Structures are given as structure tokens and as C-alpha cells.
């Protein structure tokens, strides 16, 4: 398995940066729940072994790495709500969550490595958009782990309040059972009304 490394961060250091944050978000595709972003500034001398794209790690390994990241790095997590997603669209909402995560860091970073192909327009810090960044940069990989763990925990909590939708396992994504539950149980306050499967149920006929 190929692992991300610290080369993009070192390149930024070489151009005068001293605090480089990796940034990633999770939760664009679900029908329910917030979109969540994390920003992480790793200590170059305390980089946990085995950092990788959160989707390539087992749940157990993610949990172990999450605890190490939170203990050893400057970490900030932020969200955009379902209401914000419906009001400004999921892309802008995900960018809003990213902007909030960066603003929440203990110290302002001087360079950002952002997963994806777009830089949120609200960021005023020099940034690079890195396609498949969570497989290339350990800082982005760390952010992907933190964002996923945090959002999954939120969806498990919501699953206890609204049983039957399977959020404890599908995290709000449009699984077959989740879509069936929408039809059978109806729309909750945590569903994204601007998303087609939810919108169609609310306004069918």
C-alpha cells in the first residue's frame, strides 16, 4: 500500500511557511446530517505512523490514529448545518465548514494543503488544492481521519434519536435501507431537503 508523506509540507517549508495545515471535509454525499471539516497542523517530530486516507483504514486503526492526532497536533473541527446546506448548496456549505475549521486552529497557519480541486473563496491564507490529497499528504490524511471520526460519531448520536434510518452504519449516505426508511418513516429535521431523494418525498404529487 502506498502511504502519503510529508513532501508537500516540506515544499511549503522551503518556500517560507512554518505552520502548514492539512484540510479535508467529509459528508457531501449524505442525505442527512452536517458536512464536517477538519484542519490539522502536525508536529513534524510527532507524526503518527500509518497515516493514510481514512477510507483505506480499518475502523479500529482510524480510532487509534484519531487519538494520536488529537493528542499531538493542533486540530480544529467545524461543521455546516443541514439548514446551511439547504440554503447555500452543499459545495458552498462544505467550503464554509473548511473556513470555520481553519479559523478554529490554535495558531494561524501560514499555508494550507486542501484536499480536492478547489480552494474556498473565504480563505485568505496561501493555499494549494491537492487532488486525492489524503493519499499524498500526511497532514491532509490526518484531517480526513479526524473529520470522518467526528462526523460518524455525530451520526451515531442522531441514530439514537431517530432510529430506523441506519445512520449508525450508513452515516446518512443514501443506502438502500436509508432510502426505504425515508419512504416508510418520513423526513426528519436532520435530512437535507434540497437533496433530490428527500425533496421528492416532501413534494411528491
Contact criterion met (CB below 8 Å) for 59 and 91: no
113 Cβ contact partners less than 8 Å away, ≥ 6 residues apart = 8, 9, 12, 20, 21, 22, 23, 127, 128, 130, 133, 137, 139, 140
- Residues placed in the known binding site: 24-25, 115
- Residues placed in the known binding site for a divalent metal cation: 24-25, 115
Torsion sign over Cα 145, 154, 103, 89: positive
Left (φ > 0), alpha (ψ -120 to 50) or beta: where does 33 sit? left
Q: How do strand 20-26 and strand 35-41 relate by DSSP bridges?
A: antiparallel
Amino acid at each position: 500500500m502506498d502511504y502519503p508523506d510529508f513532501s508537500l509540507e516540506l515544499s511549503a517549508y522551503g518556500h517560507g511557511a512554518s505552520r502548514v495545515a492539512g484540510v479535508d471535509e467529509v459528508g457531501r454525499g449524505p442525505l442527512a446530517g452536517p458536512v464536517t471539516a477538519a484542519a490539522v497542523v502536525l508536529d513534524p517530530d510527532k507524526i503518527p505512523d500509518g497515516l493514510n486516507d481514512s477510507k483505506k483504514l480499518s475502523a479500529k486503526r482510524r480510532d487509534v490514529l484519531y487519538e494520536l492526532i488529537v493528542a499531538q497536533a493542533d486540530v480544529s473541527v467545524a461543521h455546516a448545518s443541514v439548514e446551511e446546506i439547504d440554503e447555500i448548496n452543499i459545495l458552498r456549505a462544505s467550503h464554509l465548514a473548511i473556513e470555520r475549521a481553519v479559523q478554529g486552529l490554535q495558531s494561524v497557519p501560514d499555508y494550507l494543503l486542501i484536499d480536492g480541486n478547489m480552494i474556498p473563496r473565504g480563505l485568505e491564507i496561501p493555499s494549494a488544492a491537492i487532488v486525492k490529497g489524503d493519499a499524498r499528504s500526511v497532514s491532509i490524511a490526518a484531517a480526513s481521519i479526524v473529520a470522518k471520526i467526528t462526523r460518524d460519531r455525530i451520526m451515531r448520536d442522531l441514530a439514537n434519536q431517530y432510529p430506523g434510518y441506519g445512520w449508525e452504519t450508513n452515516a446518512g449516505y443514501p443506502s438502500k435501507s436509508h432510502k426505504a426508511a425515508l419512504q416508510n418513516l418520513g423526513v426528519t429535521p436532520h435530512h437535507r431537503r434540497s437533496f433530490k431523494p428527500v425533496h421528492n418525498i416532501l413534494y411528491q404529487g
